[in-house]
Structure 1
Amino acid sequence: MYHTWMRYFTPGPVHHRLGLVCLGVGLQHGALPAVGPRTLDHHVAVVISAGTGWLRTPDGRALPVTAPALLWLSPGVPHHYGAGPDNGWDESFVDFTGPAVTAYTELGLIEPDRPLVPLTETTAARAAIARIARAAHRGNPLLEVETSAAVHELLVALHRARADLGGDGEPVLRALARDAFLPLSVTEHAARHGMTPAALRSAVRRGAGCSPKDYLLAIRLGRAKELLAATELPVSAVARRVGYDDPAYFSRLFTRRVGTAPVRFRERQGRSVPGGWSRRIPDPEHPPVTGPLPPA
């Protein structure tokens, strides 16, 4: 015995410009019949939250599947899988496509070459899929927009749940974030963590989808923007606080990446800050708590 529920959608051209569109969603459990062999023209994320089964790869290997796990079905790649014959499994799936697939693949959140991905848990992924299911009622005027947003959320949830990343991502990413404002080169960062530069590059690419240099730069520039927008610190002081001893180099780098000079960025942000500048440097780890608005 098994139970199944599914819906399929046909987003229009304007919805495809959202980057990702949801083509279908399904919730199934029990001793489900095997799927395939077949080949699709879009991506499918199959989330196995309980039970066991099998996956046959294009080269003929039969891989055991034990929940929690993710099956990546990629366009143009034959696949064949099924639940165990006794109690089966609990399965949720989302079909999707769109131009943003390329970027998500480059960032490592979609892995066409890895059809079976062990997970640590499926709670967040199932919550994103449940949002798609709730939006799937006929007559919903925001169906395509809601389901598109949920696909983005699903990809993030699945990446965070990968068993090889330990929930919050590679420990090296947390260590780099902690040390991001030290005036260190990538080679020096690697040495601090007992790694070669190549090993550091591989770990950061696997966890964040970018190079160590870009990972550190994003953290540094984000903090620089906060300091420019919320304090009166000179640009040279901002540069030093985010790891750059040369203010001129920092200004050129900021301008190239942000599209505007640090002073100009401050001017634009400062005009929108009511009451002028704060005397306290904002702490990103402890944001202020806002209370209810006073009655009008």
Structure 2
Amino acid sequence: MPKLMDYMISPYPLRIIDPKLDASMLRLRAIRVGQVGHLPGRTLFRSNVVFGHWAMVYIVSGSGVMSEDGGEDRLVGEGSLFFFRPGCCYSYGPPPGGSWDEYYINFTGSRVGEWLEAGIIPGESIIQAGRLPGLADFFEEVLGLMDGGIPADADRAALRLEAMLLECFFVVRDHQRLWQPGMLQLIRRDLEACIYEQPDLPELAAKHHISMSTLRRMVRSSSGYPLHEYIHRLKMGEAKHLLLNTSLQVKEISGILHYSDPFYFSRLFKKYMGISPQLCRSNVL
């Protein structure tokens, strides 16, 4: 992959690929990837730039600002993903003496209108995509596909672009849903209601219109514990209550809390409560 030096942009080698493919050779006409690039250590600030195409920029590290059509400066930094829209005027880049590490992709085509209508390209100019793992790897893959100037690989790059935008949309949407008022409380209530059951976690996630990975992230971010550990802790808390307030045997408590092996139950209880069930019953706390 060719590298070039342009000290007006960065003190480090740049990778910029613009294959100029014949459109008649492409099978995907509705979306076309144009120039792609990686600008490590970018120092250049550009003012009042108008683009004739769509562009997507991902900041791997560093920070700076971006403004659209003369609006206020918006801070961008590590994990920021933002879009340039055709015909709009942009000023963007790192501050004087600063730098950022940037990937970008230019793209055009009628498919973009469908993305906008579906909200896959957000109305918000800047989104925090740091929650989407492998984003830098995606840009590297597109750079590799476009490097050879092969039409079939350019089509593959266009498909990868759509898939990445869709994944980013789902992650951002799920994150926004997580923090809707009352969402965390509703999910916690449903998990607490499963203490005497074997919880169907995929069904619970579907009930709240979120994915399993989102459910796991939500529980961990709010409780500090992985999802299954959080459920074990809820059950062990109830087991302690039963040991101290009923005459049920350890084996019975294990069964009604859906632990088929009482020895496994006892090990979990000691792990999370710091004491064996037998000693707990004896009020040695």
Q: CA deviation at 1:10?
A: 3.4
Residues 115/180 of structure 1: CA separation in 2 closer, same or farther (3 Å cut): closer
- Aligned amino acid, residue 75 of structure 1: P
1-side partners of 2:205 and 2:71: how far apart? 45
Is the counterpart of residue 55 in structure 1 residue 62 in structure 2? no
Residues 141/114 of structure 1: CA separation in 2 closer, same or farther (3 Å cut): closer
Is the counterpart of residue 138 in structure 1 residue 179 in structure 2? no
1-side partners of 2:171 and 2:204: how far apart? 25
Q: Is the 8 A contact 2:62 2:77 kept in 1?
A: yes
CA RMSD between the two structures: 3.4
Q: Which residue of 2 is the match for residue 32 of structure 1? A: 43
Give 2:76's match in structure 1, choosing from 65, 72, 76.
Answer: 65
2-side partners of 1:150 and 1:181: how far apart? 27
Deviates more, 1:82-91 or 1:43-52: 82-91
Is the counterpart of residue 154 in structure 1 residue 164 in structure 2? yes
Q: Which residue of 2 is the match for residue 102 of structure 1? A: 113
Is the counterpart of residue 170 in structure 1 residue 182 in structure 2? no
Q: Identify unmatched segments of 5+ residues in structure 1.
A: 183-192, 194-199, 204-296
Q: Is the 8 A contact 2:70 2:90 kept in 1?
A: no
Q: Is the 8 A contact 1:10 1:23 kept in 2?
A: yes
Q: CA deviation at 1:51?
A: 0.9
2-side partners of 1:125 and 1:181: how far apart? 26
Number of aligned positions between the proteins = 181
Q: CA deviation at 1:119?
A: 2.4
Identity of aligned residues (%): 18
Give 2:17's match in structure 1, choosing from 7, 28, 31.
Answer: 7
2-side partners of 1:156 and 1:53: how far apart? 26
Q: Which residue of 1 is the match for residue 258 of structure 2? A: none
Q: Is the 8 A contact 1:36 1:79 kept in 2?
A: yes
2-side partners of 1:4 and 1:122: how far apart? 25
Q: Which residue of 2 is the match for residue 84 of structure 1? A: 95
- Aligned amino acid, residue 133 of structure 1: L
Residues 148/104 of structure 1: CA separation in 2 closer, same or farther (3 Å cut): same
Secondary structure of the 2:154 match is helix
Q: CA deviation at 1:180?
A: 10
Q: CA deviation at 1:50?
A: 0.9
2-side partners of 1:54 and 1:87: how far apart? 11
Q: CA deviation at 1:45?
A: 0.7
1-side partners of 2:113 and 2:32: how far apart? 13
- Aligned amino acid, residue 117 of structure 2: E
